[in-house]
Amino acid sequence: MGVNMTRLILLLFLSAGCCLTEVQASELIADPEVDFVNTPEVVRAEFGILKKDRLLRLDLDLNGDGRPTIFLTFEGGGSKSGSVWTAYSPESSGYVRTDGIQFREDFFHAGIVPDLNPSGGLLVLYPGKGAGKLVRYPFSKGRVQGQEDLRVLDYSKNEDRELFERIFGRNLDEPMPREYFENPPHKVIDIKEINARANAPQITTPPPVKTPSVVESTPVAETPTSAVIEKAIAPATPTLSSMAAESTPAPSVLPIVPVAIIVAVILGVVIYVLRRKSNR
């Protein structure tokens, strides 16, 4: 009887584990553009996002691993602080969505900065009169995290002006280079193309997987940290727009709650059965 009870317990826990795996898999998004275009109306209304005919896409390598995170927003709109973007971080078989990342294309830096953004992510400046607030969106556990305030840059201080130049690659008083106007880093995509792709049968390709490096018999010098810093500064005219939560389940902790309840119920049943057996 003891062996049968042990098998029952193992079976129950295996079932709970399968539920958890299914929930986690359901968070992954196959096509970020289709997912973003189909953001629920209630979410767009919550953030004041107006759906437009075209969207903007930025592909940014946030930690130097060669697997870019996709940032999407609708063209036009926004505020002085920039567009509100939705990030899609690559996983092994899909993307994980993070909403509410606001920045201007002329005031952000993507990649690792050892003393400010050691794990990678975005550094963003929200400009103001005579000063600006420097914040970061760190890249951790495979995805972009929430905003963290770093410091205020006082434009009258030389050290802050030097920090601005180090992060954004230009002098504070210099205009954006012409090359960024002529060849902006973002792509403009017509929603009609996305909808046509969504309605047609297709085979989706998972995000690129980082190829493991081969161990050499002789020592290989490490790449300097500065070599993995990636800059992405864009048009002087910021294009601004959207954010939202997907039509599929949003990332994070919420889907795991039902699994915890299932496990708690299973444990309660097991304890009840064991007590009844001990009383006989």
Q: For 8-62, how does the pLDDT look when each residue is reduced to its tens digit (9 = 90+)?
A: 444 444 444 443 333 355 579 999 999 999 988 887 877 667 789 999 999 999 9
Of all helices (H) and strands (E), which one includes residue 123? strand 121-127
Do residues 42 and 157 share a domain? Answer: yes
Do residues 157 and 188 share a domain? Answer: yes
> Distances from the Cα of 168 to the Cαs of 151, 176, 234, in angstroms?
16, 10, 10
pLDDT of residue 254: 38
Distance (Å, whole) CA 117 – CA 126:
17
205: pLDDT strictly greater than 90: no
Do residues 3 and 49 share a domain? Answer: no
Q: How far apart are the first and last CA of the chain?
A: 13
The domain in which residue 1 lies consists of: 1-27+255-280
Do residues 33 and 157 share a domain? Answer: yes
Confidence of residue 222 (pLDDT cuts 50, 70, 90): very low
Q: Is 38 exposed, middle or buried (0-12, 13-18, 19+ CB in 10 A)?
A: middle
Whole-number percent of the chain with pLDDT over 70? 65
218: pLDDT strictly greater than 90: no
User: Whole-model pTM?
Assistant: 0.64
Q: What is the pLDDT of residues 147-160, one digit of tens each?
A: 899 999 999 999 99
The mean pLDDT of 261-267, rounded to a whole number, is 67
Q: Is residue 53 part of a domain?
A: yes
Q: Is residue 116 part of a domain?
A: yes
Do residues 41 and 154 share a domain? Answer: yes
Do residues 56 and 146 share a domain? Answer: yes
Q: Is residue 216 part of a domain?
A: no
Average pLDDT across the chain, whole number: 74
Do residues 7 and 116 share a domain? Answer: no
Q: Which of 85-94, 221-230, 266-275 is predicted least confidently?
A: 221-230
Q: Is residue 215 part of a domain?
A: no
Do residues 29 and 248 lie in contact, with contact meaning Cβ atoms separated by under 8 Å? yes
Distance (Å, whole) CA 83 – CA 110:
16
pLDDT of residue 234: 38
Q: Is residue 170 part of a domain?
A: yes
Q: Is 127 exposed, middle or buried (0-12, 13-18, 19+ CB in 10 A)?
A: middle
The strand pairing partners of 125, in sequence order, are: 134
Do residues 234 and 136 share a domain? Answer: yes
